[in-house]
Amino acid sequence: MKCEKALSTLRNRQAGKADFRAAAKDISHMLIDDLQNRLQESSVDTEKLCFLIILRSGIALLPEAVEAFPHAPVGVAGVQRDETTYEPQWYYEKMPPLTSDSVVVILDPMLATGGSAETVISHVIEQGAKADHIHFVGVLAAQEGVERIESIIPKENIILADIDPELDGNKFIVPGLGDFGDRYFGFDDTHS
């Protein structure tokens, strides 16, 4: 299966930037196809759809998303976790206006503790969106993170390629795939 091959490449810590990016594109395509199918089955009005990327790694999922939904506006949430407290910290925000009719799709490849996603989801609800109209699309999650956001948005609105069982002492997904953003943007990898 293509998804398993792409996920295997992403998990391979020796994979170079080119292979990692190609696998990220393949898996993004599959995730967005799944999103399209689910929205269609639920008769969701995709004209009300907008994407919200959580920086920085959410950028990797964006090309496939806007190709599938070229009319959709894109918002940006700059949220990163403090590596000491593990709590999410906002540093930037630019979102389209949201209403109770908005269908918001949050893009973030990794869902570890779920803190950043929960923060963004709560903010989107405060801006006017309904929890039932919020979707999360990601590559890999820890069970803890999935349970955290399932307490806010419907389980069927969460699309993931895989779920790993736990987090380590530093709140990283185990076995995981390393830092998705660093690997995608080439910060910790000397392979080509």
Beta bridge partners of 77: 54, 93
Does residue 182 carry a catalytic annotation?
yes
Active-site entry in 38, 81, 168, 189: 81
138 token code pair: 């990601």
Clarify whether 179 is annotated catalytic.
Answer: yes
User: Backbone phi, then psi, for 107, in 5-degree steps?
Assistant: -110, 120
Q: Which of 118, 116, 109 is nearest to 153 (CA)?
A: 118
**Does the annotation count 38 as an active-site position?**
no
Which ranges constitute the DSSP H helices of the chain?
A: 2-11, 17-41, 62-68, 115-126, 143-150, 180-185
- Which among 19, 34, 162, 179 is annotated as catalytic? 179
Marked catalytic residue, from 82, 101, 168, 182 = 182
Active site residue 45: no
Q: Which of 85, 113, 148, 168 is catalytic?
A: 85
- Active-site positions read 81, 85, 179, 182
